[in-house]
Amino acid sequence: MATITTRDGTKIFYKDWGKGQPILFSHGWPLSADAWDVQMAYFGQQGYRVIAHDRRSHGRSDQTWDGNTMDQYADDLAELIEALDLRDLVLVGHSTGGGEVAHYVGRHGTGRVAKVVLIGAVPPLMLKTASNPEGTPIEVFDGIRKGTFENRSQFFKDLTTPFYGFNRPGAQISEGLRESFWLQGLMGGIKGQLDCIREFSEVDYTVDLKKIDVPALIVHGDDDQIVPIQASAQKAAKLVPNATLKVFQGADHGLAQTRAGELNAEILAFLRR
């Protein structure tokens, strides 16, 4: 297993395959680098170097009691990028990983970054507030905390239904995909996963988005039941200076798996511009 040890002694697991311009993938909650398997295989075959890490307290990385904050996630990402000396880098983030990518730029700049891709990403702010009426009420996130705390195994299984749009008429349910999500979720540590709920729901990434001064592709499904497009991609595209918004009609939150071919083609076209 390839790992780096961060300044606070936490071991972060990562995969690093292929050669070429590097693409670093940042996963969503409560998953791991394995959520990017299709993208890593595809872009590796297209001549890119592909890297994906398990966020601390997720997957095969150390399960920490403290430090499960977006500031630390972004700093962990910076340490990985520096340890591998990645340059001319493409950062790709899904959901919470989109917040991590944006916050990395906000804290560490774009000196090593060529392009950014945000997919079903949480920025600028998921939480419903007086100034963000399109957001999701705090009660929803309290329910996620409750489900994770009381019976996360069942909660993760149940979460796959809206996550992949399996509750929509005519949806083709993949039990394999549901089990993959469940297994990845249970690999992580419950304390870190509980802490992370605040980070993806209550952190405001507006300032971070404004600092993305490289070309950015923002991809979102208009039927995303986890991160509704009105409070996320539609706003983010107006905040990122050089952003292209691509809306996948009828797509769910897990479009990296359910619409992988279409998504991969869209990202490849963006990288080759």
Boundaries of every domain in the chain = 3-271
> Does residue 1 register a pLDDT over 90?
no
Q: The tokens of 234 are what?
A: 């539609």
Neighbouring C-alpha atoms within 13 Å toward the C-beta of 203: 28
Active site residue 61: no
What is the CATH T-level fold of the domain 3-271, as seen in this structure? Rossmann fold (3.40.50)
Convert the pLDDT of each residue in 243-258 to its tens digit.
999 999 999 999 999 9
Q: Are 6 and 57 in contact (CB under 8 A)?
A: no
Active site residue 180: no
> Does residue 62 register a pLDDT over 90?
yes
Convert the pLDDT of each residue in 17-61 to its tens digit.
999 999 999 999 999 999 999 999 999 999 999 999 999 999 999
Active site residue 224: yes
**Catalytic-labelled residue, pool 95, 195, 208, 232:** 95
**Catalytic-labelled residue, pool 62, 75, 224, 252:** 224
Please give the angle made by the CA atoms of 43, 60 and 200, to the nearest 5 degrees.
75
Where does residue 124 rank: exposed (0-12), middle (13-18), buried (19+ CB within 10 A)? buried
> Does residue 222 register a pLDDT over 90?
yes
**Cβ neighbours of residue 41 under 8 Å, at least 6 residues apart?**
none
Convert the pLDDT of each residue in 65-107 to its tens digit.
999 999 999 999 999 999 999 999 999 999 999 999 999 999 9
